[in-house]
Structure 1
Amino acid sequence: MAGWHTHQGQAICLPVANVDTDQLIPARFMSVSRADGYGDYLLYDMRRDATGALRADFPLNAHPGASVILAGRNFGSGSSREAAVYALVDAGIRAVIAPSFGDIFAANAVNNGLLPAKVDDEGYAAVEAAVAKDPQSITIDLDARRLTIDAATIHFTIDDSWALKLKNGWDDIDLTRNYCEAIAAFKVNRSQTATWAWPAEVE
């Protein structure tokens, strides 16, 4: 997985709170092979009418090239299915901006290169004002934790370790390997200062 420091793309507004993982990818599509891609199933029931046809007025349908979604509070709640993140990534989404996220969803997102950018109410309103009427180009700076859109600058928050993983294209195993020397040094020090914690050698 390639890491990234900055991203520039088109942002669209999906002002819906509590979009859960079953809405992001309905369970009936979970048997599809990941190799075939999950992008077509992203928000499947929200994007289509009763006949299954794509709704022209739905933001992702009207702007299929969008790579950033401004969503409502508690995005990615519900079950822990990682396929919800796969659907977003396979559809070309690189970041979701929201006031809050489901905890497991956010962790899965980072492990797959997708930024869950958390903004406060003021920041959300600023992005929404710029995007709501007409999708805009947005620039995301991971190092500065900054969004730039329509001459406005909005700061977002993300855990430092998550930002490190996104910038380097790491998952949890890669992050642990980054601390191999520190882990080895701790083991040596611990074995010397807490000998009682170590099993006796068997002769």
Structure 2
Amino acid sequence: MDRFTEHTGIAVPLRVSDVDTDQIIPARFCVGVTKEGYGDALLHDWRLDPEFVLNQPDYRNATILVAGENFGVGSSREMAVWALQNYGFTAVLAPRFGDIFRGNALKNGLLTVTLEQSVIDELWNTIERRPDLPITVDLVRREVRASGVTYPFELDDNARWRLLNGYDDISLTLRDVEDIDTFEAARRRTLPTSHRVAMEGAIRG
């Protein structure tokens, strides 16, 4: 996945709490086998309303979502993260996230920033007054900057390290591929002959 160090973009205020993953992407759209193609389904049923915030011209190019309490609760579907990313969001700011959603997001390179509700309220007000205002999410310094105001946030060191380096689970494993190959070669020599022949045949096949 791509490295995340700092991102500056337009933000969209989603003044809704308890947005669950079935609202983020309804189950009927979770039919793909890749991570692509879910952007059109993001918050699909809400976007049928012409007045919904994502349909407003000022926010159509937003890359930062500022949401309410308990964003991403509900089922564990990873497509909810992919839909946000496919739509164009790079970071989501909220007072609290569903635990599984947040884990999925960080592992896929979508930064989730936890801020106090009072800070979210201030950001909502600022964004609505100035929809074109650029907001910066700085992972290196662990802070959000908007209209000359800095808001610090916490993120555990391991998740931050992974995002800064662009490491997902697969790329982390591949860092040790030589050690894995050495281990597997040694392990095969300890197996009974019949099992070893079967394994080697499967590898060649």
TM-score (norm 1): 0.80
1:122-133 to structure 2, matched below 5 A, reads 122-133=118-129
Once the two structures are superposed, residues 36-82 of structure 1 have per-residue CA deviations (whole angstroms, 9 ceiling, x without a partner) of 51000000011113xxxxx1x22222222100011000000000000
Conserved 8 A contact 2:35-2:82 = no
Conserved 8 A contact 1:145-1:157 = yes
Letter aligned with residue 14 of structure 2: L
- In the alignment, the residues of structure 1 paired with residue 4 and residue 35 of structure 2 have an alpha-carbon distance, to the nearest angstrom, of 23
Partner residue of 1:156 out of 153, 156, 172: 153
Conserved 8 A contact 2:36-2:82 = no
* Corresponding residue for residue 111 of structure 2: 115
User: By how many angstroms is 1:146 displaced?
Assistant: 0.6
Higher helix share: 2
User: By how many angstroms is 1:133 displaced?
Assistant: 3.2
Letter aligned with residue 10 of structure 1: I
* Corresponding residue for residue 41 of structure 2: 41
**Pairing 1:72–2:68 present:** yes
Q: 1:99 to 1:33 in 2, by over 3 A?
A: same
Q: 3-state SS of the aligned residue for 1:19?
A: coil
> Which residues of structure 2 form unaligned runs of 5+?
180-189, 191-205
Q: 1:35 to 1:166 in 2, by over 3 A?
A: closer
* Corresponding residue for residue 24 of structure 1: 24
**Pairing 1:13–2:13 present:** yes
* Corresponding residue for residue 194 of structure 2: none
- In the alignment, the residues of structure 2 paired with residue 158 and residue 90 of structure 1 have an alpha-carbon distance, to the nearest angstrom, of 24
Once the two structures are superposed, residues 110-167 of structure 1 have per-residue CA deviations (whole angstroms, 9 ceiling, x without a partner) of 1111010001233223312211333221011101111111111111222211111111
Question: Which 4+ residue blocks in structure 1 deviate beyond 4 angstroms?
Answer: 175-178
- In the alignment, the residues of structure 2 paired with residue 112 and residue 35 of structure 1 have an alpha-carbon distance, to the nearest angstrom, of 10
Once the two structures are superposed, residues 76-123 of structure 1 have per-residue CA deviations (whole angstroms, 9 ceiling, x without a partner) of 000000000000000000000000000110011111110100012332
Q: How many percent identity over aligned positions? A: 44
Once the two structures are superposed, residues 175-195 of structure 1 have per-residue CA deviations (whole angstroms, 9 ceiling, x without a partner) of 4666x6xx9xxxxxxxxxxxx
- In the alignment, the residues of structure 1 paired with residue 172 and residue 33 of structure 2 have an alpha-carbon distance, to the nearest angstrom, of 28
**Pairing 1:58–2:52 present:** yes
Quote the RMSD (CA, aligned, Å).
Answer: 2.2
Q: 3-state SS of the aligned residue for 1:132?
A: helix
- In the alignment, the residues of structure 1 paired with residue 135 and residue 43 of structure 2 have an alpha-carbon distance, to the nearest angstrom, of 22
Conserved 8 A contact 1:126-1:154 = no
Partner residue of 1:172 out of 165, 169, 172: 169
TM-score (norm 2): 0.79
Letter aligned with residue 52 of structure 2: F
Q: 3-state SS of the aligned residue for 1:69?
A: strand
Conserved 8 A contact 1:8-1:137 = yes
Bigger shift: residues 5-14 or 127-136:
127-136
* Corresponding residue for residue 192 of structure 1: none
- In the alignment, the residues of structure 1 paired with residue 36 and residue 92 of structure 2 have an alpha-carbon distance, to the nearest angstrom, of 23
